[in-house]
A and B are shown apart, each in its own frame.
Chain A
Amino acid sequence: MNRLPLFLRMAANAGASLVLAFLVLPILAVVPASFNKASFIYLPPRAWSDIWYERFLADPEWRSSLFNSVEVATLATVIAVVIGTLAAIGLRRIDGRLRTLVTGLFLAPMIVPVIVTAVALYRSALDVGLSGTILGMSLGHALLALPFVVINVGIALRAVDGNWLKAAAGLGAGPWTIFRTVTLPNIVPGIVGGAIFSFITSFDEVIVAVFMAGYSSKTLPVKIWESIRLEFTPVIAVAATVMIALAIVLFALAQIASSKAGGHTR
């Protein structure tokens, strides 16, 4: 068991390689599909072209959906990061059952199935006139992103030694000075990580967006969702490739932020 016989080790390696290929390769198939010259999706493409990228950029609906996505994700990120960071700091100042209860409440949007949250949000948005607006979608996405900010900043806060705060207070610093000079510099990596997670959560989110989007406020995933059902063209592969590229860049940034956070704690 400590060292499996050769044939079992080979079987394990082969099995693992196959499963890893199953996980990674299908996603990468999107990229060649976006460079297909044909007017329909065909894999692997027989002739290559960037014509569908031109179509994507020239089409006002696709373009505006991309801008809407950036706008919604930015707004959602700002809301989630501000209230989530304050909440994570506040959580450290309460104890016992109250903390368990409030933490549970902050993490609840992760546990409730998104379809339930989406339908509930849609109904209330209809009542107050936020349905079909950028603000409505941003608020919904901020709700889904909030747990990631609370978790990320909470982890970063663990590295802030309570004695530093006492020392600063003993040296005569007020609460705001302590926050600005001791707490904040130490939790910046957590905040940045939370912000990146929030942005990608919002940018990738479909279910809330599908319910909340109006005709002129579609996000990129909503436009992809609708296009898949109407016409299955290579433009969708272009939009999907754009989403993959953005996700890779953002997660590379998140990795850098979290490695910086690790550097501070240890």
Chain B
Amino acid sequence: MSRRHLETACLLGPALVVLALLFVVPLARLFSLAFTDPTGPFATFGILAESAVYRQVMWNTFVVAVVVTALCALLAWPVAYVLSRLKGVWFAVALYGVLFPFWISVLVRTFAWMMLLERNGPINRLLMSTGLTDEPLALLFNNVGVLIGMIHILLPYMILPLYGAMIRIDRRLLLASDGLGAGLLDTFRRIYFPLCLPGLAGGATFVFLLSLGFFITPALLGGSNAITLSMLIASFVNDRLAWSLAAAGSMALLAIVLVLMALTARLLPMEKGFFAR
């Protein structure tokens, strides 16, 4: 080995050792537990797939992720558009409005929503004082709370890629479309929307993948009425000490995430600049 190779190995070595010991080996060790069920090596996966309760949990995880992604896409649209048109101070104000939530811990933000959505919380009191409802709505410990909390946390992941796509759109294309006599709706449908699509798809992928693995927010805002796969994994470990089931659930979650990532990476060329080089 040449001197240069030795140096490179010394530079990469410590991080690779740490990754191996803290990441690769623990994951392999955990996954090996999935095959240790006394009733057979693949029994854990059978239990997860056949139990109506667990199927319900996976269905709920999937539905929450789809609804969160769809609502994030809808809500991100006006913000990304306005961001792409603003300049100067107002642009900075709007941009920091999007970035500020990123800085704050997910736990703190989830706690904030618990205060706001409480039975006697400010939102319920506002709804009642304006006469929209007669009695407090159940906004907490069900999927309503989970959706609100998760959208709040994941929305910036949708706004930023969408804004990135909008800002790159050549305005002259829109002018040309106008000049050639296309109406507003036509220009949107045939020019603007297709050009926004890569950003929208990228953001949707992020949001969907992140929501599949969410734990803190559904655990606190949804509770036992809205169990997700990650909550199920945690309860296998903490309440039931069922390590083989926790391992099988973890493998399933990771497999779904990796497959979806591979699919979307093939469909849309992810930003190469994202990776440090």
Contact = CB atoms under 8 A, between A and B. Distances in A.
Interface of A: 1-2, 4-5, 8, 11-13, 15-16, 19-20, 22-24, 26-27, 29-30, 33, 41-44, 79, 82-84, 86-94, 99, 102-103, 105-109, 111-117, 119-124, 127, 139-140, 142-143, 146, 150-155, 157-158, 175, 200, 203-204, 206-207, 211, 221, 224-225, 228, 232, 236-237, 240, 243-244, 247-248, 250-251
Contact of A123 (B97, B187, B192, B243): B243
B233 A243 contact: no
B41 interface: no
B253 interface: yes
B8 A90 contact: yes
Contacts of B115: 29-30, 33, 41, 43, 237
Interface stretch (B46-54, B130-138, B171-179): B171-179
A154 B276 contact: yes
Task: Identify the interface centre among A109, A124, A139: most chain B CB within 10 Å of its CB.
Answer: A124
B109 A26 contact: yes
B26 A115 contact: no
Given A30-B115, A87-B12, A106-B15, A12 B78 contact: yes
Given A116-B27, A116-B253, A19 B107 contact: no
Contacts of A94: 8, 12
Interface string B11-42: 11011101100110111011001000000000
A210 to B, nearest CB: 8
B11 A86 contact: yes
Interface in B47-84: 75-79, 81-83
B11 A119 contact: no
Nearest to A121: B26
A12 B81 contact: yes
A89 B108 contact: no
B164 interface: no
Interface of B: 4, 7-12, 14-16, 18-19, 22-23, 25-27, 29-30, 33, 75-79, 81-83, 94, 97-98, 100-101, 103-109, 111-116, 118, 120-122, 152, 155-156, 171, 174-175, 177-178, 184, 187-188, 191-192, 212-213, 215-216, 220, 230, 233-234, 237, 243, 246-247, 250, 253-254, 257-258, 261, 275-277
A225 B97 contact: no
A247 B276 contact: no
A259 to B, nearest CB: 13
Contact of B18 (A12, A114, A143, A158): A143
Nearest to B117: A26
Given A23-B155, A43-B115, A87 B15 contact: yes
A115 B106 contact: no
Contact of B192 (A1, A88, A89): A1
A69 B22 CA distance: 20
B105 A121 contact: no
B78 A113 contact: no
A88 to B, nearest CB: 6
Contact of B107 (A89, A115, A224): A224
Given A2-B171, A119-B246, A22 B152 contact: yes
B97 A20 contact: yes
Given A120-B250, A204-B107, A151 B276 contact: yes
Contacts of A142: 18, 22
Given A1-B187, A27-B108, A240-B111, A19 B78 contact: yes
Nearest to B179: A2
Contact of B106 (A79, A206, A248, A251): A206
Contacts of B171: 2
A1 B103 CA distance: 34
A113 B12 CA distance: 25
19 contacts: A16-B83, A23-B98, A27-B101, A30-B108, A93-B4, A103-B275, A109-B19, A112-B254, A113-B254, A115-B250, A116-B27, A120-B26, A123-B26, A151-B276, A175-B7, A203-B105, A206-B105, A224-B107, A243-B104
Contact of B97 (A8, A24, A116, A244): A24
Contacts of A108: 19, 23
Q: Which 8 A-B pairs have the closest CB atoms?
A: A154-B276, A113-B213, A90-B11, A15-B78, A204-B105, A87-B15, A90-B12, A16-B82
A232 B140 CA distance: 14
Nearest to B220: A228
